[in-house]
Amino acid sequence: MLLDYASRSADDAASLWVLYREALEMSVQGCDAACLSEAVEGTARYFDVDAMPMKSAALASAGKNARTPEEFAGVTAQLLGLVDEFIRADQYEAAEKAVGSAVQFARATKITDLIGKATVRQKEVSEAKSLYASSKSVLQRIAKTPDDPVANLEMGKFLCFVKGSWDLGLRFVAKGSDPDLRALAERELARPVQAADVAAVADGWWDLAEKEKSNLRKTQIMTHCGGLYEASLPGATALARLRIQKRLDALSALYTPAQGVDLLRLVDTKLDAVKGKWTLEANGLTCVGSEHSRIQIPYVLPAEYDLIYNIERINHGDFLVLGLVSESTAFAAVIDVAGKSLLERVDGLGENPANPTTGKGLSFPTGRTVNFKVVVRKTGVTVTADNEVLISYQGPLRRLTPNPDWNVPGGKLPYIGSWHGGFRIQSVNLLPVAEPGKRLR
């Protein structure tokens, strides 16, 4: 509530400061890690404060107030994200302190995957700190001899494989002493546009990652591969698409928590149905649709995640809507409207040829069950149906806005909707990338 007021008080500096300060204090006391981070980031947006140490101190205090596994997990996820920010800023002492707290709070969750992730990250921070210290001498060598191939290779590998600064790091690798890496860097720096060429570059990095023994470097390379493969997917041939999707699925299994959240079991039709006839039985959540039929899911989604749906059409009707949220932005994937699928709204555009996400429709006859996968990242959104890409969007999520006709009372919550369609939602599973999100009851 206070953050909502703050968003409407940008022209009143005194009120804005008080609202963000109060929101931060309440978030610390209530151990709401997501709101805490939003309050710090809002403060830093309008006032001259150093957000990272401010957030680190607030998260440490919030962790002392945590009582439930979900609260501990939320603080852990925010701390792990903060660790990445510290490393990007070369603040390794602060990164070590933050990741140490993350390990402590992760253990309190008793979630094996999260404990493992925090522990591995602690080792990676230690390795990164050591490599950063040695990189200082490399920079001195490059300053004296800019074309030194050995020094350029070392600096490029540090930037790409440790810090994840690929745009800058590739320029050093392209001047380095390793001919194979140099050729691969040159191919990527040429900015290929054909899907096959982009996938070929990703394949080269993939082969390198499979030989890598350092978990830190392997993770950075594999993450880079994932971005390249996702960029190549929309334009790939059918056969290539299958191979690329298998690799993306393998990456998802490696670098997202194995323990997902069963969102369907959280739904109460009496509390969550907004419009239409919804019934929850042993075989799933059933909708007999009217105009704008929808039911919300009482769960606050994290900034980045995968959602896996199994949905059966039970009678002939019109289109399906998957309501989504990320970073306080609500939007929706509309499946098979007038033979097309798309995100609405992009730059205010819904069903419009100018909407850049407009993709193919879906053969979805009565009795067929389809496995939908929605991948939401800070850099874009992809929707697949039985591993076939329906919608692909790359760009800032702030361009995505909700259609007010599909609003839900809970505000920015995920939902499932239909327009005169009958569907049975057999399962909805959330796979968070970092922070777990939060159930509302």
Maximum mean pLDDT: which of 99-108, 280-289, 358-367, 410-419: 99-108
Q: Rounded CA gap, 215 and 200, in Å?
A: 23
Residues 6+ apart with CB under 8 A from 246: none
366 confidence band (pLDDT: 50, 70, 90): confident
Which of 314-318, 321-325, 372-376, 381-385 has the lowest average pLDDT? 314-318
Q: Pairing state of beta strands 277-281 and 284-288?
A: antiparallel
Q: Are 333 and 324 in contact (CB under 8 A)?
A: yes
Q: Rounded CA gap, 390 and 384, in Å?
A: 5
Q: Pairing state of beta strands 388-394 and 305-315?
A: unpaired
Stretch 91-96: mean pLDDT, rounded? 93
Q: What percent of the chain has pLDDT over 90?
A: 30
361 confidence band (pLDDT: 50, 70, 90): low
Maximum mean pLDDT: which of 9-13, 65-69, 181-185: 181-185
Stretch 300-313: mean pLDDT, rounded? 88
At 209 the pLDDT is 92
Q: Between the CA of residue 277 and those of 117, 281, 311, what are the distances in Å?
A: 42, 13, 17
The DSSP output letter for 47 is S
DSSP assignment of 21-52, as one string? Answer: HHHHHHHHHHT-HHHHHHHHHHHHHHS---HH
Q: What are the DSSP E strand ranges found in 191-337?
A: 261-262, 273-275, 277-281, 284-288, 293-296, 299-300, 305-315, 320-326, 329-337
Query: What pTM value is reported for the model?
Result: 0.55
Matching residue, tokens 């490599």: 131
At 335 the pLDDT is 86
pLDDT in tens, 385-441: 877 788 888 888 888 888 888 888 867 899 999 887 788 898 888 888 766 777 786
Q: Are 51 and 41 in contact (CB under 8 A)?
A: yes
pLDDT in tens, 166-203: 989 999 999 999 999 999 999 999 999 899 999 999 99
Please report the sign of the dihedral spanned by the C-alpha atoms of residue 131, residue 134, residue 140, residue 144. negative
Q: Rounded CA gap, 85 and 294, in Å?
A: 38
428 compared with 262, residue with greater pLDDT: 428
At 6 the pLDDT is 54
The DSSP output letter for 404 is G
* Structure tokens, 335: 């499946």
257 confidence band (pLDDT: 50, 70, 90): very low
Distance between first and last Cα of the chain: 18
CB atoms < 10 A from the CB of 222, how many? 20
At 68 the pLDDT is 85
Maximum mean pLDDT: which of 42-46, 54-58, 345-349: 54-58
Q: Which domains does the chain have, with CATH numbers?
A: 2-129 (1.25.40), 146-255 (no CATH), 261-439 (2.60.120.560)
pLDDT in tens, 99-150: 999 999 999 988 777 888 889 889 989 988 988 888 889 989 999 999 999 9
216 confidence band (pLDDT: 50, 70, 90): confident
Q: Between the CA of residue 328 and those of 4, 58, 298, 378, what are the distances in Å?
A: 11, 21, 15, 12
Q: Rounded CA gap, 242 and 238, in Å?
A: 7
Q: Among 383, 313, 377, which Cα is nearest to 344's?
A: 383
Q: Between the CA of residue 36 and those of 74, 104, 323, what are the distances in Å?
A: 10, 19, 25
Whether residue 370 is predicted with pLDDT greater than 90 in this model: the reply is no
